[in-house]
Amino acid sequence: MALIVQKFGGSSLGTLDRIQHVASKVMATRAQGHDVVVVVSAMFGETDRLIRLANAITHLPDPREYDVLISTGEQVSMSLLSIALNAKNCDARSFTGPQIGIQTDDVHTKARIQEVKTDVLQRELKQGRVVIVAGFQGVNEAGEVTTLGRGGSDTTAVAIAIALKADECQIYTDVDGVYTTDPHLLSDAMMIPHISFEEMLEMASMGAKVLQMRSVELASRHNMPIRVLSTFIDGPGTLVTFEEKIMQRRLVTGIAFSREEAIISLSGISRRIGLEGLILDRISQEAVEIDMIAQNATAQDTVDFTFTVPRREYAKAIKIIEGLNKDLGSFAIKTNDKVAKVSLVGVGMKSHAGVASTMFKALGETGIGIQMVTTSEIKISVIVDETLVEQAVKAVHQAFELHKIPSPKQEQLVE
């Protein structure tokens, strides 16, 4: 008998029929003799609806109240699933994050889990019940409800799996695994049976929302394997584990993209030691995530400093920058909030030159201009106009032949 954590995303819980289907899947796992903890997201579209309500009142809602509001979606789906299970004579109980004791820091809207208390979970499992937990939410030291950032139910599931030393953490969604790129964008994307934590982390942080980045980070830190599976089609899914276990791989693994980016460029900043650090520090103090950064010298005493932020943080970032402009002397602010980021990911890049040139050539030949570039050991990201994402992904996918089953030539053995 194993202990299995199963997380069902919003797309798996969109309607009452789907909730009934999820209930049957959970019961099938119980029938195999396993203990099950289920983590649920809100019903499909519900979190977006709640966010729209708050934003219709103000663009900068009070963070405490915002978290109280957007955490309610999960409370609806957890109780509906529990009602469905009990109606089928399967003993189940649902709990909110605070009821379980999912302790977080106090950064509202993107809190980090600090501890998962296990007493309630253990007590309920011992009674032979299916335990259903609301994903995406926790409680801070002051007893306030917090939320974990969009897609945060994945992280709830991984954190619970780690705390309970579960045998498996299964993430059920509307696709049957992790693909070379979003299969809803490119129909010839290929399923990846096995991916390393390192690559999955880059894919997720660059926009592949099939797993929330923090869930992968946490799983990798505690060596908790994650399996991504479809709620609707049976299959082995994708296993996310350490690299040593993956025997064969391609030069590059996949392409992630994020449509919702914004570039902020500050030009004519006086060249003073430490000024860039000060600017970034002020922005990150407000919990705005800065991603790509570039700096170039222009006139003798000034520099241009350019960075990207997620588009949802654009208004907040601009407000901070305008404040800095008053404090640090004047510079010109140029922005473009209609850009997207396309990232090529693969551990094979570590040992192979020429990946960037192949990528840039493919984009150039398709007539796509690159506005900004950053690289890491296993990733190359470019900023392009938001209308060109699909074309860019297609061109790069084709250039690396990701639509083909890897031939021995494309594969390399990992030492």
User: What residues make contact with ligand ASP under the rule CB under 6 A?
Assistant: 9-10, 41-42, 47, 73, 135-136, 150-154
Smallest distance, Å, CB 154 to ligand ASP? 6
Tokens of 5: 């954590």
Tokens of 12: 């798996």
If one asks whether residue 41 binds ligand ADP (CB under 6 A), the answer comes out as yes
Of the pair 34, 150, the CB lying nearest ligand ASP is at: 150
If one asks whether residue 147 binds ligand ADP (CB under 6 A), the answer comes out as no
AA identity, residue 255:
I
Of the pair 153, 241, the CB lying nearest ligand ASP is at: 153
Residue 175 interacts with which of ligand ADP, Mg ion, ligand ASP, none, CB < 5 to 8 Å by class: ligand ADP
Q: How far, in whole angstroms, is CA 271 from its chain's centroid?
A: 36
Q: Give dist(CA 8, CA 231) in Å, integer.
A: 8
Phi, psi of 95 (to 5 degrees): -140, 145
Residue 239 interacts with which of ligand ASP, Mg ion, ligand ADP, none, CB < 5 to 8 Å by class: none
The answer for 403, left when phi > 0, alpha when psi is -120 to 50, beta otherwise, is: alpha
Of the pair 4, 393, the CB lying nearest ligand ADP is at: 393
Among 67, 174, 198, 313, binds ligand ADP (CB under 6 A): 174
Residues 189 to 248 in contact with ligand ADP, rule: CB under 6 A: 203, 208-210
If one asks whether residue 381 binds ligand ADP (CB under 6 A), the answer comes out as no
The site string for ligand ADP over 1-30 (x = CB under 6 A, - otherwise) reads --------xxxx------------------
Smallest distance, Å, CB 175 to ligand ADP? 5
Rounded (10°) angle between helices 63-70 and 46-57: 150
In DSSP terms, 302 is beta-bridged to 270
Q: Give dist(CA 349, CA 253) in Å, integer.
A: 10
Q: How far, in whole angstroms, is CA 165 from its chain's centroid?
A: 23
If one asks whether residue 74 binds ligand ADP (CB under 6 A), the answer comes out as no
Of the pair 44, 331, the CB lying nearest ligand ADP is at: 44
The site string for Mg ion over 5-44 (x = CB under 5 A, - otherwise) reads ----x-----------------------------------
Position with the least CB separation from ligand ASP: 153
Instruction: Please tell me the count of residues contacting Mg ion according to CB under 5 A.
Output: 2
Q: Which of 51, 46, 36 has the alpha carbon at shortest distance from 10? A: 46
Relative to beta strand 254-270, strand 293-297 is: unpaired
Smallest distance, Å, CB 202 to ligand ADP? 11
E-state strands within 24-174: 35-40, 92-95, 102-104, 113-116, 130-134, 137-139, 145-147, 168-173
Q: Give dist(CA 335, CA 265) in Å, integer.
A: 6
Which residues, in sequence order, are CB contacts of 180 under 8 Å at separation 6+? Answer: 189, 190, 192, 253, 254, 255, 397, 402, 403
Binding positions for Mg ion, rule: CB under 5 A:
9, 151
Binding positions for ligand ADP, rule: CB under 6 A:
9-12, 41, 151, 173-175, 178-179, 181-184, 203, 208-210, 254
